[in-house]
């Protein structure tokens, strides 16, 4: 009895209802065109900053979707080092963050290079640099073994099976079909739909013991970069997916059990894509705000610690940290002595980059000294 989409006789010949997608697809392409034009007007340096913001969001959120919370400072540090930002970021190395950043950069920067099983193996291995998923040793850099792979939720002895992947003996054949489809140059299919199909197809094959959902999102990003012919991303699908995580898993499960018609998945993907484009204003706005602040204070020499703290406050936006910046928080961020931190805060006050909030004694805190027009908004 057919239970999953990959058991259908005509798999993987997907079908969908064009008439129910055309309006959403048109909106997605129109909004994306507007956004790309806006990004082009920012200039090289600002685009690099925006690219960093998107990469940080992708790494943090694609990990969070799988329940893995990363240190934002480590992710920012990894991104800054790899794309050549001069911003002073003081953070230790996180091997997992470094690996995921490397994978995302390779997929989007080298979108025009062939997608091969060797490349996929390298990506999957980079996601698990120690060979462990949590406390469990897994196979890395190769397809899964002969253990049936199921997507399960719920407590022990009350598990609910949401999906079972094709048996391991089919994986090579399935991947060959997928890679052959990917390599076709003369497709008339819209690029956004190609990206949606690629992600769905790959996660349904589920070729690895772990990391399949993350790799599916990486492949989706690569497909979009290939369609746009741009290495710089300015919207984050993963950030939007985590906002809609429950519906993401629900539509994925429904479509994987509903025959070869993948219209429900494509409709959901287009909606998510459009909402990701709409939210990109948050990223662009943050980049412009940071650029404006640094332009006002460009001739003021700062230590790397001061640069890091100011950038953290800028990342927090107009509202800043909850409770404001305190000497204790400055110490936690920079690992410098309390006396050094107090001296550097005083220096930032004297340079007009910080202002003191109301309060005395232990309740003393500080916030960024935004230009007057920003404070009024």
What rounded mean pLDDT belongs to the chain?
87
Mean pLDDT for the stretch of residues 1-22? 94
Residue 373: its pLDDT value, please? 45
* Residue 130, C-beta contacts closer than 8 angstroms, at least 6 positions apart: 95
Joined together, the tokens standing for residue 111 give: 């979108």
SS3 161: strand
Question: How confident is the model over 162-190, as pLDDT tens digits?
Answer: 889 999 999 999 999 999 999 986 678 99
| pLDDT-based confidence at residue 263 (cuts at 50, 70, 90) | very high
Residue 376: its pLDDT value, please? 42
Residue 88: its pLDDT value, please? 46
Residue 171: its pLDDT value, please? 96
Residue 210: its pLDDT value, please? 93
Closest CA to 201 of 121, 242, 255, 160: 255
The answer to whether the peptide bond before residue 118 is cis (omega within 30 degrees of 0) is no
User: What percent of the chain clears pLDDT 70, i.e. is strictly above it?
Assistant: 92
| pLDDT-based confidence at residue 375 (cuts at 50, 70, 90) | very low
> Comparing 81-85, 94-98, 127-131, which segment has the lowest mean pLDDT?
81-85
Question: How confident is the model over 83-93, as pLDDT tens digits?
Answer: 777 554 445 56
For the structural domain made of 301-375, what CATH number should be given?
1.10.10.10
Task: Decide if pLDDT at 258 tops 70.
Answer: yes
Interatomic CA distance for residues 303 and 296, integer angstroms: 17
| Residue recorded with tokens 């685009």 | 47
Residue 126: its pLDDT value, please? 95
For 189-225, the DSSP string reads S-HHHHHHHHHHHHHHH--SSS-HHHHHHHHHHHHHH
Residue 8: its pLDDT value, please? 96
| More confident position, 91 or 18 | 18
Task: Decide if pLDDT at 319 tops 80.
Answer: no
Mean pLDDT for the stretch of residues 293-317? 88
> Comparing 33-47, 237-251, 330-344, which segment has the lowest mean pLDDT?
33-47
Residue 317: its pLDDT value, please? 72
Question: How confident is the model over 205-230, as pLDDT tens digits?
Answer: 999 999 999 999 999 999 999 999 98
Residue 212: its pLDDT value, please? 94
Residue 70: its pLDDT value, please? 84
Task: Decide if pLDDT at 251 tops 90.
Answer: yes
Mean pLDDT for the stretch of residues 250-261? 95
Instruction: Tell me the domain boundaries of the chain.
Output: 5-287, 301-375
> Comparing 139-143, 155-159, 366-370, which segment has the lowest mean pLDDT?
155-159
Q: 5-287 is classed in which CATH architecture?
A: Orthogonal Bundle (1.10)
Residue 141: its pLDDT value, please? 96
Question: How confident is the model over 331-371, as pLDDT tens digits?
Answer: 998 999 999 999 999 999 999 999 999 887 777 899 999 86
Rg of the chain over all Cα atoms, to the nearest angstrom: 23
User: What percent of the chain clears pLDDT 90, i.e. is strictly above it?
Assistant: 54
Residue 377: its pLDDT value, please? 43
Residue 92: its pLDDT value, please? 59
* pTM for the predicted model, two decimal places: 0.79
Alpha helices in 110-211 (DSSP H): 117-127, 168-183, 191-205
Residue 347: its pLDDT value, please? 97
């Amino acid at each position: 009895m057919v239970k999953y989409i990959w058991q259908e006789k005509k798999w993987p010949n997907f079908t969908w209802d064009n008439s129910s997608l055309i309006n959403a697809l048109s909106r997605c392409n129109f909004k994306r065109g507007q956004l790309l034009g806006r990004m082009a007007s920012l200039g090289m340096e600002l685009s690099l900053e925006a690219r960093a913001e998107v990469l940080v969001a992708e790494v943090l959120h694609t990990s969070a979707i799988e329940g893995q919370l990363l240190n934002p400072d480590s992710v920012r540090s990894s991104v800054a080092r790899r794309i050549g930002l001069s911003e002073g970021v003081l953070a230790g190395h996180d091997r997992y963050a470094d690996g995921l950043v490397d994978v995302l950069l390779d997929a989007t920067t080298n979108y025009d290079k062939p997608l091969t099983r060797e490349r996929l193996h390298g990506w999957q291995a980079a996601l698990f640099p120690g060979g462990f998923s949590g406390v469990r040793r897994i196979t890395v850099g190769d397809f899964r073994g002969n253990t049936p792979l199921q997507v399960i939720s719920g407590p022990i002895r009350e598990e609910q099976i949401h999906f079972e992947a094709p048996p391991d003996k089919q994986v090579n054949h399935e991947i060959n079909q997928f890679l052959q489809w990917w390599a076709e140059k003369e497709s008339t299919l819209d690029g956004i739909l190609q990206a949606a199909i690629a992600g769905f197809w790959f996660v349904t094959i589920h070729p690895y013991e772990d990391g399949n959902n993350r790799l599916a999102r990486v492949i989706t990003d690569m497909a979009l970069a290939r369609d746009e012919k741009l290495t710089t991303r300015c919207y984050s699908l993963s950030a939007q997916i985590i906002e809609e995580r429950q519906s993401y898993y629900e539509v994925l499960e429904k479509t994987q059990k509903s025959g070869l018609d993948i219209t429900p998945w494509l409709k959901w993907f287009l909606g998510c894509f459009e909402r990701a484009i709409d939210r990109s204003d948050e990223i662009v706005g943050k980049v412009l705000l940071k650029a404006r602040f640094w332009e006002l204070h460009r001739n003021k020499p700062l230590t790397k610690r001061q640069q890091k703290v100011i950038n953290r406050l800028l990342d927090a936006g107009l509202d800043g940290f909850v409770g404001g910046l305190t000497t204790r928080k400055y110490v936690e961020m920079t690992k410098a002595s309390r006396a050094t931190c107090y001296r550097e805060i005083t220096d930032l006050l004297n340079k007009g980059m910080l202002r003191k909030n109301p309060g005395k004694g232990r309740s003393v805190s500080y916030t960024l000294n935004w230009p007057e027009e920003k404070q009024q908004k």
